[in-house]
Amino acid sequence: MHVQKRAGRRWLVSLAVAATVAGFHELSAADTQISAPLDTAVVAKAGSVELTAADLRTAISLLPNETRSSLHGNTRLLTGLIRSELTERAILAEAHAHGFDTEPLTREHVDQAVRKALANLWIAEKGTPPASYPSEAQIEAAYEASRKQPPIEYHLAQIFVRAPDDENPAKLGLALKKVMRIETQLHTADFAELALENSDDPETAGKGGDAGFSTADQLIAGVADAVKGLKPGEVAGPIKSTAGFHFVKLIATRTPDPPTLESARQRLIAGLRDREQRSLEALYIRELSDRLNIQIDRAALGKLQAGL
């Protein structure tokens, strides 16, 4: 799980949320399989939790086309997906074993997550560009623009502390204490050792936080802004994202030779479609807001606010 990178289109996040909350409804402590396997060959396991080939195919089928394509020949990325799936299933199994899924407050959070996931999926559906987008002319124009301004690639290491925006106060407090402890240790301890001991990102923690090379548009906005001002060897953080807190160390930068149009084609298409998706989503929300004609009773709101 590359937590320092953008997750991509909003519907991918929504699918992950929907799959998680669906697990609360359907997963039993004795059965950690999310769907009935068509191929029962066990690809990986962690303790009593197993991941079959059918489970992995289902997880892959929910990924965007460009991500699915990148899995071919990329063992590191596929291994990261497997680890993420196993970890999620183990978490769900443990939650069920402790009866956490039956607590009233948990049910409220799950129901709210389902509503938000469904809304986000619908927004993404309304914003999906037509299959014919982008045109060949648009691809070629994007390629020429990229050749004139080749992107800088940043080799980063990171320490990630999980603290999602909807985290409960008690867990958020623990995360903040962890962040403060890491911040004080950064001045004297080795960054790689701190990442190995403290990072909540299983994909990079075992490598001392090494996240490889990324361009700015592949990074979370706050991380990208911070990295642009760093020199090799310098560290920035903590940086808050919707997922948690990030400490990032710039190891090196490079400006690779421009690729050929054909080798860059799929990346250019993905980037153009992503930008068009976000534009269409914003347009849909803006037009919907205009149609709704939202009205707020200020007096009633004042009374409610006074009682908070």
Residue the block writes with tokens 């068509």? 38
Q: Please state the φ and ψ torsions of residue 243, each to the nearest 5 degrees.
A: -90, -25
pLDDT value of residue 38: 53
Look at the alpha carbons of 82, 84, 89, 90 in this order and tell me if their dihedral is positive or negative.
positive
What's the pTM value of the predicted model, to 2 decimals?
Answer: 0.55
- End-to-end alpha-carbon separation of the chain, Å? 38
- Tell me which residue of 244, 243, 202 sits closest to 80, measured CA to CA: 202
Torsion from C-alpha of 124, 129, 134, 135, nearest 10 degrees: 180
Q: What is the DSSP track for 278-292?
A: HHHHHHHHHHHHHHH
Q: Exposed, middle or buried by CB within 10 Å (0-12, 13-18, 19+), for 50?
A: middle
Distance, in Å, from the CA atom of 170 to the CA atom of 42, rounded to the nearest integer, reads 37
228 sits in the region (left: phi over 0; alpha: psi -120 to 50; else beta) called: alpha
10-residue averages of pLDDT along the chain (308 residues): 44 43 40 50 88 88 73 80 88 91 91 92 93 96 87 91 82 89 90 91 89 87 88 90 90 87 90 93 93 90 89
Q: Please state the φ and ψ torsions of residue 110, each to the nearest 5 degrees.
A: -65, -45
Token digits for 154?
């940043």
Residues 279 and 285 sit within 8 Å (Cβ to Cβ): no
Helix (H, G, I), strand (E, B) or coil at 171: helix
Token digits for 133?
């987008």
Q: Exposed, middle or buried by CB within 10 Å (0-12, 13-18, 19+), for 180?
A: exposed
Count of CA atoms in the C-beta half-sphere (13 A) of 53 = 4
Distance, in Å, from the CA atom of 151 to the CA atom of 147, rounded to the nearest integer, reads 9
Count of CA atoms in the C-beta half-sphere (13 A) of 166 = 8
Q: β-strands 235-240, 49-52: how paired? A: unpaired
Q: Exposed, middle or buried by CB within 10 Å (0-12, 13-18, 19+), for 213?
A: middle
Distance, in Å, from the CA atom of 172 to the CA atom of 237, rounded to the nearest integer, reads 17
Paired residues of 249 in beta bridges: 157, 235
pLDDT value of residue 210: 92
Domain limits, the chain? 10-127, 151-254
Helix (H, G, I), strand (E, B) or coil at 130: coil
pLDDT value of residue 272: 94
Distance, in Å, from the CA atom of 178 to the CA atom of 185, rounded to the nearest integer, reads 11
CA 21: distance to chain centroid? 16
CATH number of the 151-254 domain: 3.10.50.40
Distance, in Å, from the CA atom of 184 to the CA atom of 28, rounded to the nearest integer, reads 42
